[in-house]
Amino acid sequence: MKYISLLMLSFTACGLLFGAAPAGAQATRTWVSGVGDDANPCSRTAPCKTFAGAISKTAAKGEINTIDPGGFGAVTITKAITIDGGGGHTASILASLVNGVIVNAGPNDIVQLRNIDINGAGNGLNGIRFLAGNTLIVENVKIYGFTQKAIDFEPNTAGRLIVANSTISNNLGATAGGVFVQPGAAGSALVDLVNVTASRTGDGLRLLDRSRASVQNSVFSGNSIGVVTQCSTAVCEIDLERSILSDNQIGVRTAGAQGTVRLSETGIYNNTTGISVAGGAVVSFGNNRIAGNTTNGAPTSTVSQQ
């Protein structure tokens, strides 16, 4: 009996040694709460307080969710992850004097931000600053109150930005802007904007060399420039379809010989200048509406629809 008891104790000890999860194991899904604590394991019943506290306890390709309303703090993301504030309540990041979200992930990493308000409090830097990664998806997000860019997308390799059902507003300052796309020297960018509103935010969309954007069902209003290409050494293009550019200083602008904006079913209304060309090309498919601007301007060419 004594031998059997010792043997059972030995098996139990082995089970504890080899079968238990490591103390520092990361969860695939973690949780934050306005009344949480970052010392917690970020489980549903013991949530963390901030996104920064939860991210270190969330496995790569995992997801951080919110339980209740709260301000969950600025965060730096270095791996594939989803942060989803959904649930019928307000999940916010208050980013006074700092960047709201910094993405500096691996070359194959996909980062998704959903159902979040990112508030710069009138003096924040950038709402989202993307330095490295494969793809950034921004869905149902409000970004406002920053002094630099709402989304500063600067991939150092081939990067993809998708923004859907989102609002960018009231980013004011000498360098303020909405979606700013400037790939690094070895980078390039593909951008999709669908159902996006950018208002009172410097330039609504600005593309630099080695970038392409497809824009659908979006509104650019009350900005310095609605959409602009600034491309002198490499091609950049904006395809703008079923969208509105109104009450901007300039609706559409191309600057630099390598930039092209294509317009289809788009209204350009009540801007100081509707279309401004300083190099590059603005191509119309002949189905746009340009009216009510102090100076309408004109496309550089019109092509037939197929």
Give the per-residue pLDDT at 215.
98
Determine the Cα–Cα distance for residues 58 and 66; give it in Å rounded to an integer.
13
Range 99-105 average pLDDT:
98
> Is pLDDT of 131 > 90?
yes
pLDDT digits (tens, 9 = 90+) for 257-294: 999 999 999 999 999 999 999 999 999 999 999 999 99
Give the residue among 66, 58, 59, 133 at the shortest CA–CA distance from 101: 133
Give the per-residue pLDDT at 70.
94
pLDDT digits (tens, 9 = 90+) for 296-306: 999 999 998 87
> Is pLDDT of 4 > 70?
no
Establish if 38 belongs to a structural domain. no
Range 26-50 average pLDDT:
97
C-beta separation of 110 from 81 below 8 A: no
Give the residue among 23, 188, 195, 200 at the shortest CA–CA distance from 107: 188
- Running DSSP on this structure, what letter comes out for residue 39? T
Establish if 19 belongs to a structural domain. no
Amino acid at the residue 4: I
Instruction: State the chain's mean pLDDT as an integer.
Output: 92
- Give me the number of domains the chain comprises: 1
Judge if pTM exceeds 0.85: yes
* Residue 209 CA, distance from chain mean position: 19
Establish if 51 belongs to a structural domain. no
Q: What confidence category does residue 10 fall into, taking pLDDT thresholds of 50, 70 and 90?
A: very low
Establish if 49 belongs to a structural domain. no
Determine the Cα–Cα distance for residues 183 and 59; give it in Å rounded to an integer.
28
Establish if 7 belongs to a structural domain. no
Give the per-residue pLDDT at 24.
58
- Running DSSP on this structure, what letter comes out for residue 100? S
Give the per-residue pLDDT at 304.
86
Give the per-residue pLDDT at 203.
97
Establish if 62 belongs to a structural domain. no
Structure tokens at 247: 């009450």
> Is pLDDT of 201 > 80?
yes
Structure tokens at 46: 């013991």
Residue 107, domain extent: 73-302
Establish if 45 belongs to a structural domain. no
CATH assignment at residue 263? 2.160.20
Give the residue among 254, 252, 246, 243 at the shortest CA–CA distance from 281: 254
Give the per-residue pLDDT at 87.
76
pLDDT digits (tens, 9 = 90+) for 50-83: 999 999 999 999 999 999 999 999 999 999 999 9
> Is pLDDT of 9 > 60?
no
> Is pLDDT of 168 > 90?
yes
Establish if 220 belongs to a structural domain. yes
Q: Residue 211 to residues 166, 203, 206, 253, 267: CA-CA distances in angstroms?
A: 21, 16, 10, 16, 24
